[in-house]
Chains A and B, each alone.
Chain A
Amino acid sequence: MAKIGVFICHCGENIAAKVDCTKLAAAMGEHPGVAVSVEYKYFCSDPGQESVKKAIREHNLTGIVIAACSPRMHEATFRKACAEAGLNPYLCEIANIREQCSWVHTDSEMATEKAMDITRSMVEKVKRNNNLQPIEVPVTRRALVIGGGIAGLQAALDIANAGQEVVLVEREPSLGGHMAQLSETFPTLDCSQCIMTPRMVETAQHPKIRLLTYAEVESVDGYIGNFKVRIRMKSRYVDMSRCTGCGDCITKCPAKKISSEFDCGLGKRTAIYTPFAQSVPNMPVIDKASCIYFKNGKCKMCEKSCQLNAINFEMQDEFIDLEIGAIVVATGFQIQNTAVYGEYGYGKFPDVITGLQFERLASASGPTAGRILRPSDGKEPENVVFIQCAGSRDPSKGVRYCSKICCMYTAKHAMLYAHKVHGGKTHIFYMDIRAAGKGYDEFTRRAIEEDEASYVRGRVSKVWQENGKLMVRGVDTLLGKPVTVVADMVVLATAMVPQHNAKEFAKTIGIAYDEYGFYNEAHLKLRPVESSTAGVFLAGACQSPKDIPDSVAQASATASKVLALFSKEKLEREPVIAINNEATCAGCWGCVLACPYNAIEKKDIRDRSGRLIKQVAYVNPGLCQGCGTCVSFCRSNSLDLAGFTEKQIFAEVMGL
């Protein structure tokens, strides 16, 4: 005989203001099988929980219903209280009379009636609940970090330094990401390469880190603690076990006029190349699309020049299968295609460049060895105009958000320019200066006060060329007048946007993304580094535009999450999984196809002599996520979901 306890929470005024809790408690007290029905102001509080535990012990309850807020809020709390009182935690059910009742109704009487329906249906369900035991699954203590920019490096190093294994996958031939392309970094003006490259070397040499460059994640299966990841090692055409990085092949390569991606098109590279001098690993790859041999079938100059026979034109893509426990996604960003701003003449006028291109000009390792020179004629510009929000905060161009870093790097650019070109003039068109961060506002003030950056508050409507000069027409909203500035160079603070394949990649790993393609965190405030998929964490600009300090901080946060996961030998999982009735299973395997987690296997049923009688479906408890797709597919009703059995659901519905 069921002895159910019903605990009705006022949630302060949240529920009690609309639902007559006293009436509800009385009605539930009369429902068959209910042994105790009480109300209280806050059951989630310590005394509230104690009273639940006391009631369980005193009345020998066989199940409880907490009529309160959403189960997402406090189901775990009350299950724990149940367990502490000696009752199986899965004999606790939550009747949501807050979000689904008191908050959404105005009529008190009807709300009370609805609360009765909701609570009664849960009482009927809990009568049919069974004791369930959590499922234990092993944890593979090996992390996969996707992306070798600053966020990925930080996450990998933090996890590895704590003694856990890491596999770091980078799509490009070298580690470094966008940070390696930068000149000096705000707000301290330390050289990006100088702080970045030691990290890259440390990562490559770390005994706990397996580095896979020029590699991409092909597929991800499995679940938290037990992912199965397939990596595609793209063919470099250079045998990494032989290459010493001497660079002879690069010198000999006759295809020298290929636009360098690393220098944002301002420099040239060869077909066999390393992206930049400090590349890690310092071993070249052959760019198949530009290689003369691959195009014409003749050349092989690199092969002839290599004394170690490291060049192999026959190389094919290879696949590596990895067992992974946790995944850190640090795939970064790209800059918006500036072609959407036709009025600024990017692509038409060579001296209109992006902020990232300016970084390459200002970088000591860049195409101009750190001198600010115009791409068109190689002369030093005397007047430079910077246009902020060239893409960001502009709904008409599809980017409503603030890219966050542009105010700061534009101030930095103005500063670097003032340091390198004495007497040069800068104009910065801006909407607002957003300089929140440690030392940030001081930094922009320094650009204005010490380095004489001239800020003009307003938008630019048009850039055109006249007598070899760039004419910039904008508005100064503080003066209320249109202005035209004559410039030698225009720098656009382009928006940060998600990687071009961000959405497809999210589908590969199984995580959610927002309308732009930035990856969604599980909770913006309280779970900012977890993705919606357990065991997958987010670091850096793949989640939203971020500067270096934010990316590093978030990367370290993901490392701490990964390490917390790895601190356990086994993970406890909710026992809400599908169970098959082998006697009635017809073996049609519709469930095998329907299961999104490949959790259903074929099982042989044999008689005592070992003769095969039939094959039935078997649900692997480690893989099943309890989604219920198979249950709804099964025509013979052989599959059922523990914790949400058809019996329970039916009773719940009939209780309404």
Chain B
Amino acid sequence: MFDKTLAELAGGLAAGDFSSLELTESCLSRIKSQDAAYNSFITVTEELALGQARAADSLRAAGKAGMFTGLPLAHKDIFCTQGVRTSCASRMLDNFIAPYDATLVRKFNEAGAVTLGKTNMDEFAMGSSNESSFYGPSRNPWDTDRVPGGSSGGSAAAIAARLVPAATGTDTGGSIRQPAALCGITGLKPTYGRVSRYGMIAFASSLDQAGPMARTAEDAALMLKVMAGFDPMDSTCVEQDVPDYSASLNDSLEGLRIGLPKEYFADNLNPAIAEQVQNAVREFEKLGATVKEISLPNTALAVPAYYIIAPAEASTNLSRFDGVRYGYRCDNPVDLEDLYKRSRGEGFGDEVKRRIMVGTYALSAGYYDAYYRKAQQARRLIQQDFIQALSEVDVIMGPTTPQPAFRIGEKTSDPVQMYMEDIYTLALNLAGLPGMSVPCGQVQGLPVGLQIIGNYFAEAKLLNVAHRFQQATDWHTQAPASIKG
């Protein structure tokens, strides 16, 4: 049962092959017996899950089951879940029990989903390796000495290890796509504004976007249908109809125009990964697509622009964690300043502090024009690159990451090297465009991700392209050798 996709499990529940309670118990038992090796969960919500599973079974017995009723999944620990610790993988929120559900969580609950728990992540989603978690790093099931990527590393590891069929993630600069690539699963970052951010703890508000992580594009389509849509509680959420993403999965790719940005195949890229990506592209040609080289000339601006804008927003988003109303408070503060300094000094980890300092600096009087304003200008140039390119091609393809999963500890001493992990992913967040990562090969036994980028609100097209690829290939069905039945 653990090797089934959401779509297969939905079929089994509908056919009465097993109940949601049986399915949930099986997942919980796998998490309990195996997650010590992956550390992919921060909190397992056994009671909640069993209750939801029973309710789902009753609903099904009453003939009121929907597509998602009784399907188990996990939420990244960045989403507020009522009555459950929502830590953001930070000491700052280790004691924080959310008093409300994020809109995305509520939507899954209303659809009848079963919440197995909250997955590990980089602290406040700041990182590309899951090593900044207060709860220790999550490990890559393909090689537990390696990182699963980040920040949604726990979600990716749990799916790759077949502990859960699917999980939610968030992507600010690649935090869904990069761990999906490193763990050999499928992840989608939707268009900015497609999914509500209400109840999702903010890292960089203008870049953050929640999305589905699963084994297949077909499952991602099922999840996105639940997640997407307007939310009056989020002013940046776009009021636009949500299509039936599953309906167009099998559309023909005949005549699909694929662009390959030459900048994404330059020096930084591991040649073995380049080869796998090229192989994938040839697969699309067999499916009737046409391929051409394109240029995204401002690609080099993405990393510097991102590492101004994201920390700038983060530096003020994280001001609310001050030890006054909730979260970590230092012992015996002598005065207000001491309360602030020690609560924040002790509550936040190094990477979070680094970004708060960078962001504070970038917004400071006298530096704002040189950094923040310039970065916003670069952001517009990057966006224009994509708009121009997407007027000539339907989708853009390239590698998700320049390297496969690296070893735990390998890049922690050099933040800039860590930041370069995201060179192919974070431009999309700056542009607000949707992107996917799907498994497209392996390098030395480690998965490689193909990134597929589409136009605004073209999630259905991305899922269609990814699904047809997965119909023609079997990279997405391959499991790490380490996992046990």
Asked if A and B are interacting partners, one says: no
Q: Give B residues with C-beta under 8 Å from A.
A: none
Q: Give A residues with C-beta under 8 Å from B.
A: none
